[in-house]
Amino acid sequence: MKQNLTLLPTRRGVLGSSLAAGAVVTLAACGGGDKSASALPSGTGTAYDATTLSALPVSGTASVDINGHNYLLYRPDEGTVLAYTSVCTHQGCKVGTGDSKNFICPCHGSEYSKLDGSVTQGPAPKALTRYATSIEGDKVKIYL
C-alpha cells in the first residue's frame, strides 16, 4: 500500500525561521565593524623617527613613510602628536591628510577624525589603527 505524506511547517518552525532571517538582516545592517576609535596603544615596540616638531606645527598634519609603510601624523597641541596608519579600512586606499578636522580617503570619500581616527563619514567600516608616539626634544617618535 502506498502512502502520500506531506510535511507542513509547524507554527514554531515558521516563527523560528523568521527570527533567524531577522537576525541575519540585523547583523548585515551593523556592517560588523567598529567606527569608533580604538584605544591609544602604549609605547611598546620599536621607536622610529617620524618627523620633527619644527616640521609639524600645531594643527599640522604630515604623511610619512617608515620601512615601506605610510603613516599619518596630527599635532593637536604643543605637546601631543597623534599617529595612524594611512591604510583605509574600506578597501585599502591611501588616506590623505584631508582638511582641518578629518583625514580623507580619495577613493570613495571616507573621512576619519584627526583626533582619534574614528570614522566620521563612510563607507569605511572601522576606525584607523592608532600608534603610540613620543616627543624627545625636537624629534617625534612613532612606536611600531
Q: Which is nearer to ligand FES, 82 or 105 (CB)?
A: 105
CB of 80 to ligand FES, least distance (A): 26
The number of angstroms, rounded, from the C-alpha of 68 to the middle of its chain's C-alpha atoms is 20
Cα–Cα distance for residue pair 44/65, rounded to 1 Å: 19
Whole-Å CA distances, 109 to 2, 19, 49, 52, 100: 66, 35, 30, 29, 16
Q: Which is nearer to ligand FES, 41 or 123 (CB)?
A: 123
Q: Give me Rg for the CA atoms of the chain.
A: 24
CB of 121 to ligand FES, least distance (A): 9
**DSSP secondary structure letter of residue 1:** -
Q: Which is nearer to ligand FES, 73 or 88 (CB)?
A: 88
What mask, x for binding ligand FES by CB under 6 A, covers residues 83 to 122? -----x-xxxx-----------x-xxxx------------
CB of 45 to ligand FES, least distance (A): 26
Q: Which is nearer to ligand FES, 41 or 125 (CB)?
A: 125
The residue count for binding ligand FES (CB under 6 A) is 12
Judge whether 89 and 102 are in contact, CB under 8 Å.
Answer: no
Sort residue 92 into left (φ over 0), alpha (ψ -120 to 50) or beta. Answer: left
CB of 33 to ligand FES, least distance (A): 13
Contacts to ligand FES by CB under 6 A: 88, 90-93, 105, 107-110, 123-124
